[in-house]
Amino acid sequence: MSLNAKITDWHGKVIWITGASTGIGAALARQLLNIGAIVITSSRTAITLTHANTYHVTCDTTELASLALATQKIKSQFGTLDLIIANAGNHAPMRADAIDAKLAAQLVDTNLTGTINTVACGLTLLKPTGGIAIVASVAGYRGLPTGLIYGATKAALINFTETLYLDLAPKGHQVYLINPGFVKTPLTDKNPFTMPALISPDEAAKAIILGMTKGQFEIHFPKRFTWFMQALRHLPYSWYFWLIHKGTGL
């Protein structure tokens, strides 16, 4: 059963993607342009996409003033939006015996506060039936080694998006929770371990677009890995902790 309206035609849809300079965001921009969407990209630095239907707004999602200016520019150029994809985020492996408080605060600011800021500003631009997609992660399902702060921010985003759906779906909006597994990006390149079921940004973007086309609420991929991670959510702690330590050696 679809929790959101199915998207049968992407042609002419006006879509704003944050964190679009690299990785999943950049791949999404390219693929959405290829199927006829009009794409607004945002990042802290300039992006050059050679396509007639793209528009770039430089902004920092952790700064409300920066987002407000970006919102004004988008409203002036396009009026309203069909879809916002809140993708901006950061990652840094961290364990309890080496907590970097400054870096931890930056991760919370970028991943959680920046996403909330994007939704708060973006809602003012959204069409009555428009949608909001939040990029979280399967790392938010349960605690994992090296994910001390990153996982916590993604767990918060999962809860945030579930509540967002409860608030916005009755008003006619679409809400999507995107939970990727391991995707090869400059961020995951920081991981000091072999990542199972690693996929490319293009594969991730294809899965996201397909999930939204089908009207899914949670879009998780690759299934060969994320179904396993979902199953782990239901294990008692004694089993879960044993399996994680045995499986990772951490």
Residues catalogued as catalytic: 150
Give the three-state DSSP class for 167.
helix
What is the spatial distance between Cα 112 and Cα 151, in angstroms, rounded to a whole number?
11
The residues pairing with 199 across neighbouring beta strands, listed in sequence order, are: 183
**Number of residues that make up the chain:** 250
CA 217 – CA 2 distance, rounded (Å): 7
Burial of 34 (0-12, 13-18, 19+ CB in 10 A): exposed
Q: Are 44 and 51 in contact (CB under 8 A)?
A: no
Cis-peptide, bond into residue 222, ω within 30° of zero: yes
CB 177 within 8 A of CB 218: yes
